[in-house]
Amino acid sequence: MIVDSLDLKALPPGRHHFWLNLLPNVMGGRTQVPVMVLKGKERGPVIGLTSAVHGNELNGIPVIGEIFDKIQPENLKGTILAVPVMNIRGFMQNHRMFENQGTTQGKADLNRLMSGSLKGEVEEAEFYAKALTDKIVKQCDYIFDLHGLGFMGKMKSYIIADGKHPIAWKMAQACRPEYICETSDMQRIGNLRSEGVKMGIPTVTFEIGGSPHAFEYKEIEKAKHGLLNAFFTMGWTKTNLADLKLISSKTKVIGSYAGNHTHNDGGLVELKTKLGDVVAKGQLIGHLRDVFWQPIKTLYAKEPGEVIAVASNPVKAPGGGVIYVSEPKREIAHDINHGANSSERVSGGVG
Ligand SMILES: [Zn+2]
């Protein structure tokens, strides 16, 4: 069904699919996004699940689909409002960015434009982002924005959440990811998470896997069960549908991460570290070689920490990313037998 707006209150309990008109397109028709609504039998908050704000980060799409298959309206207290593809233009072109059409042209990162206001040089992407904010984001009481670091290749899934926002932090923790990246959203502009938090909507970013243009089934499964555990922990489902054995029994809290790049050199990277390794500062992480397989230079870790992302594509122009490392600040221990309680403690860190 095609609609101009979503009237969630008027919908009966159950599952609904819509094409939502966002704004006029170059043919005088409408640019639309797909919307899924699961309305519970009991009243409660609107929980937003958004995916593919970056059009080539696809893991959130099956996560949403499987959550909709798993939760029955009888079990749900509230409404799930999901948009499996937020960035229609990027998705249809297999691209991270939103491609403006008509005379504006050029590519824009939607996740820098989600302030919901129009300012500066207004291009189509800003109108599109504002329409998404007005018609979707503002209807939600909570949001999980599903991404995947779509340019590295392989990475640990993690959630980004504001450490000073107790509800957003609880949402992140309840998903029991291997890592939570602690951030401060009041200082950030334009991404869906920070703009959501500023609007009073607790919002977290779930980075699911690291391969663009792919479904990473193991990461999809973990994210699905993590979200199901969060739904129960937050009081949105009556029973816990998560299999706690499939998600982490502890979560490491990290801050920023350090990228190791090829700097001013280009070539082929022969990597000597893998995802999850713990590296010391100055440790050898790989070799940069030319196409005749002759060494150009040895690559060393800039900072100590755990390897949370590695590039799968060895071909590097100057400035190309090789690995990202981060040192955990503390650990959160989860009760593997129960869905709700977790305790946070300061660990000694690694390295
Ligand atoms: Zn993304």
State the distance from the centre of ligand 1 to the C-alpha of 53, rounded, in angstroms: 6
State the distance from the centre of ligand 1 to the C-alpha of 47, rounded, in angstroms: 20
pLDDT confidence of residue 322: 92
pLDDT confidence of residue 152: 67
Of 210, 211, 184, 177, nearest in space to 198 by CA: 184
Topology (CATH level 3) of domain 2-254: Aminopeptidase (3.40.630)
State the distance from the centre of ligand 1 to the C-alpha of 144, rounded, in angstroms: 13
State the distance from the centre of ligand 1 to the C-alpha of 212, rounded, in angstroms: 10
Of 127, 116, 77, 78, nearest in space to 196 by CA: 116
Cα distance between residue 16 and residue 39, in whole Å: 8
pLDDT confidence of residue 349: 37
In terms of Cβ atoms closer than 10 Å to its own Cβ (0-12, 13-18, 19+), residue 274 is exposed
DSSP label at residue 200 = T
**Cβ contact 44:77 at 8 Å:** yes
Cα distance between residue 96 and residue 69, in whole Å: 27
In terms of Cβ atoms closer than 10 Å to its own Cβ (0-12, 13-18, 19+), residue 130 is buried
DSSP label at residue 237 = B
Cα distance between residue 175 and residue 167, in whole Å: 13
Q: What residues flank ion ligand 1 with Cβ within 5 A?
A: 54, 57, 147
pLDDT confidence of residue 307: 94
**Cβ contact 225:175 at 8 Å:** no
State the distance from the centre of ligand 1 to the C-alpha of 55, rounded, in angstroms: 8
Alpha helices in 78-208, H assignment, sequence order: 88-92, 124-135, 166-174, 192-198
pLDDT confidence of residue 343: 59
Pair of tokens at residue 78: 């509230």
State the distance from the centre of ligand 1 to the C-alpha of 19, rounded, in angstroms: 23
State the distance from the centre of ligand 1 to the C-alpha of 264, rounded, in angstroms: 26
Question: What pLDDT tens digit does each residue of the chain (351 aa) get?
Answer: 999 999 999 999 999 999 999 999 999 999 999 999 999 999 999 999 999 999 999 999 999 999 999 999 999 999 999 999 999 999 999 999 999 987 777 899 999 999 888 876 678 999 999 999 999 999 999 999 999 976 667 888 999 999 999 999 999 999 999 999 999 988 888 999 999 999 999 999 999 998 888 999 999 999 999 999 999 999 999 999 999 999 999 999 999 888 888 889 999 999 999 999 999 999 999 999 999 999 999 999 999 999 998 988 899 999 889 999 999 999 999 987 777 656 554 443 333
Residues 6+ apart with CB under 8 A from 321: 151, 152, 259, 260, 261, 309, 311
Residues of the chain with CATH 3.40.630.10: 2-254
CA dihedral 66, 70, 74, 78 (to 10 degrees): -40
CATH code matching the domain that covers 258-326, chosen among 2.40.50.100, 3.30.70.260, 3.30.60.50, 2.40.50.1040? 2.40.50.100
Residues of the chain with CATH 2.40.50.100: 258-326
Of 146, 115, 149, nearest in space to 132 by CA: 115
Cα distance between residue 94 and residue 116, in whole Å: 25
